[in-house]
């Protein structure tokens, strides 16, 4: 049984530059089935009527790959919208509205621009309380929709934009070398010049994109997916030219992480609209991103932690009429801890499985040796067969370890970091609130100053005071709008995030189960092949 080793993102060309390919998985024969099974639907039962124990085809499994060069869009690039429940979870319809807080203008989650953007998570909670708040400005493109209209949209185009990251190639030599990745986009969205296009990007470009997005006011309160982490050790090995399985594994891990990162970015309705994102996908040459040191991995987390420390030290609390934000933040923090723990558990599982690979390989060799010194020919043959069976099992364990890692461990790691990004949003909202508070305090002072001037009867300074007051009044009202906007955005984002998270996890668990099942079927075949050999011993 020849198990071909293919990269999960399909291009066998990858093996050229990277030494051994660590991949998950399927056999050649499974790939055709998988190509068609891009939609993770429940009726994916194309078992094709074959008995699982004897059939040549096994079920399509894990992160699918496309064997041909041409089609590089994996299943993951296509977000499937499950039929979303239009619930109003989380948006408690509360009621005491302080004008400054509870800014729940309900911006629907379905931004429908005339460009027909893609809906990822369908509109949730559209029926939130639409309390009227003065001075709020509705974005012109946002329209409240009825349930019917929303559902109609959902049933529309599902795959409006797919993106894939493939073909890592080492450019240059020595310590200035870097990996360049192919970013391929396939889209029906009119805002792009072409329907399919490809660019090459390096790791710092991805980091640069994150930097730009985090700094934007228009994206304030949005959950910006964090870019993958930098790794000095990993990259150095690659630079130095070490062509072994661990550096190949590193490159694959990074490639997959970059792909997931981009997929999350384009899955976000607001981010997809962002010109920097579009430029990243389309433009041939990007100016080198600088100052990305602080923004990846530990640097980013440090920033987040510093920010949250600073915020915690403030004794100012937002006067909220409901504690949705407070309790949600607590939930987020708790969940982050839980996911960290889960990640550690999966990590340990992955390591043990790798251990099992190597001990199985060693056992296989010892059995081969035993077979070679055995004089009884039938027994000797059976022992050699046994050694081969154990070899195959080693490969299966290896594949399963990769599934464990890419499907579960990376999912958990991504979400730990995403939850960090969620916390960031809460902090941003807090900062906006502080800015509003400070402006209100300043306005108050200006008014007092004016009153003093009136009292002291100094008409020449009065005009200045009045100008000041006007200036600060408009600032206050701007900041109020900002705060309402960011409050709404954060709320909406959190709900969207939670739905996405549940869906993401479901998808991954299905994939994981499929990989388990696939491995198990293979294992059954191994044993079935060996049994006659054992019985043939005389």
Sites of contact with other proteins (CB under 8 A) = 41-44, 52-53, 82-83, 85, 87, 89-90, 327, 331, 335, 338, 341-342, 345-346, 348-349, 352-353, 355-356, 359-360, 362-363, 365-367, 369-370, 373-376, 378-379, 382, 386, 495, 498-499, 501-502, 505-506, 509-510, 512-514, 516-517, 520-521, 523-524, 527-528, 530-531, 534-535, 537-538
Shortest Å distance, C-beta 530 to other proteins? 5
Q: Which is nearer to other proteins, 196 or 377 (CB)?
A: 377
SS3 of the chain: helix, strand, coil, percent, to 5: 60, 5, 35
Shortest Å distance, C-beta 500 to other proteins? 10
Contact of 501 with 411, CB cutoff 8 Å: no
Q: Which is nearer to other proteins, 68 or 528 (CB)?
A: 528
Contact of 163 with 77, CB cutoff 8 Å: yes
Q: Which is nearer to other proteins, 286 or 342 (CB)?
A: 342
Q: Which is nearer to other proteins, 10 or 122 (CB)?
A: 122
One DSSP character per residue, 140-152 reads TT-----HHHHHH
| CB burial of residue 157 (10 Å; 0-12, 13-18, 19+) | middle
Q: Which is nearer to other proteins, 264 or 499 (CB)?
A: 499
Shortest Å distance, C-beta 8 to other proteins? 20
Q: Which is nearer to other proteins, 132 or 535 (CB)?
A: 535
Contact of 286 with 201, CB cutoff 8 Å: yes
Contact of 79 with 38, CB cutoff 8 Å: no
Compute the distance between CA of residue 238 and CA of residue 526 in angstroms, rounded to an integer.
Answer: 36
Q: Which is nearer to other proteins, 213 or 339 (CB)?
A: 339
For residue 75, the 8-state DSSP code is: G
Shortest Å distance, C-beta 505 to other proteins? 5
Shortest Å distance, C-beta 523 to other proteins? 5
Q: Which is nearer to other proteins, 301 or 517 (CB)?
A: 517
Nearest to 402 by CA among 131, 30, 17, 62: 62
**What separation, in Å, do the N-terminal and C-terminal C-alpha atoms of the chain show?**
26
For residue 406, the 8-state DSSP code is: I
Q: Which is nearer to other proteins, 29 or 528 (CB)?
A: 528
| CB burial of residue 458 (10 Å; 0-12, 13-18, 19+) | exposed
Shortest Å distance, C-beta 63 to other proteins? 16
Shortest Å distance, C-beta 206 to other proteins? 28
Q: b vs e for 186-195, b when ≥16 Cβ sit within 10 Å of the residue's Cβ?
A: bbebeebeee
Compute the distance between CA of residue 249 and CA of residue 12 in angstroms, rounded to an integer.
Answer: 15
One DSSP character per residue, 244-291 reads SHHHHHHHHHHHHHHHHHHHHHHHSHHHHH-HHHHHHHH-S-PPPP--
Shortest Å distance, C-beta 257 to other proteins? 22
Can you say how many angstroms the Cα of residue 151 is from the centroid of all Cα atoms in its chain? 25
Shortest Å distance, C-beta 85 to other proteins? 8
Tokens read off for 492: 């909406």
Residues 6+ apart with CB under 8 A from 368: 383, 384, 387
Q: Which is nearer to other proteins, 165 or 383 (CB)?
A: 383
Shortest Å distance, C-beta 276 to other proteins? 30
Q: b vs e for 215-249, b when ≥16 Cβ sit within 10 Å of the residue's Cβ?
A: eeeebbbbbbbbbbbbbeebbebbbeeeeeeebbb
């Amino acid at each position: 049984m020849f198990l071909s080793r293919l990269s999960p993102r399909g291009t066998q060309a990858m093996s050229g530059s990277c030494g051994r390919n660590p991949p998950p998985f399927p056999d050649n024969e499974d790939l055709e089935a998988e190509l068609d099974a891009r939609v993770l639907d429940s009726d994916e039962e194309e078992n094709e009527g074959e008995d699982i124990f004897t059939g040549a085809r096994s079920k399509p499994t894990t992160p699918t790959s496309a064997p041909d060069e041409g089609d590089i869009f994996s299943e993951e690039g296509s977000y499937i919208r499950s039929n979303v429940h239009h619930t109003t979870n989380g948006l408690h319809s509360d009621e005491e509205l302080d004008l400054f807080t509870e800014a729940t203008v309900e911006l629907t989650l379905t931004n429908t621009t005339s460009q027909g953007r893609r809906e990822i998570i369908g509109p949730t909670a559209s029926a939130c309380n639409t309390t009227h708040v003065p001075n709020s400005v509705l974005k012109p493109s946002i329209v409240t929709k009825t349930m019917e209209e929303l559902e109609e949209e959902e049933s529309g185009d599902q795959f409006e934009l797919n993106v894939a990251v493939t073909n890592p190639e080492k450019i240059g030599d020595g310590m200035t070398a870097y990996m360049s990745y192919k970013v391929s986009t396939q889209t029906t969205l009119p805002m792009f010049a072409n329907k399919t296009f490809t660019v090459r990007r390096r790791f710092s470009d991805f980091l640069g994109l994150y930097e730009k997005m985090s700094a934007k006011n228009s994206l304030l309160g949005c959950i910006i997916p964090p870019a993958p982490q930098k790794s000095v050790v990993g990259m150095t090995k690659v630079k130095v030219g070490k062509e072994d399985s661990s550096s190949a594994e590193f490159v694959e891990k990074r490639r997959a992480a970059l792909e997931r990162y981009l997929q999350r970015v384009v899955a976000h309705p607001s981010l997809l609209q962002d010109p920097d994102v579009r430029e990243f996908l389309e433009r041939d040459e990007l100016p080198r991103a600088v100052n990305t040191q602080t923004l990846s991995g530990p640097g980013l987390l440090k920033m987040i932690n510093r920010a949250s420390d600073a915020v915690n030290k403030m004794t100012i609390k937002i006067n909220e009429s409901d504690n949705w934000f407070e309790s949600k933040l607590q939930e987020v923090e708790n969940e982050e801890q839980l996911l960290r723990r889960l990640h550690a558990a999966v990590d340990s599982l992955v390591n043990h499985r790798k251990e099992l690979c190597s001990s199985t390989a060693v056992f296989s060799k010892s059995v081969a040796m035993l077979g070679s010194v055995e004089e009884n020919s039938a027994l000797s043959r059976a022992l050699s067969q046994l050694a081969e069976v154990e070899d195959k099992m080693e490969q299966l364990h290896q594949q399963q370890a990769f599934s464990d890692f890419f499907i579960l461990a990376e999912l958990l790691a991504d979400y730990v970091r995403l939850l960090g990004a969620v916390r960031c949003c809460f902090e941003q909202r807090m900062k906006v609130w502080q800015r509003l508070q400070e402006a209100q305090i300043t306005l108050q002072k200006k008014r007092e100053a004016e009153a003093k001037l009136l009292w002291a009867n100094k008409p020449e300074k009065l005009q200045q005071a009045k100008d000041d007051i006007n200036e600060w009044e408009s600032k206050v009202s701007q900041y109020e709008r900002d705060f309402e906007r960011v409050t709404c955005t954060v709320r909406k984002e959190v709900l969207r995030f939670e739905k996405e998270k549940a869906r993401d996890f479901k998808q991954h668990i299905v994939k994981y189960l499929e990989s388990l099942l696939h491995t198990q079927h293979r294992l059954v075949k191994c044993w079935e092949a060996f049994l006659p050999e054992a019985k043939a011993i005389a």
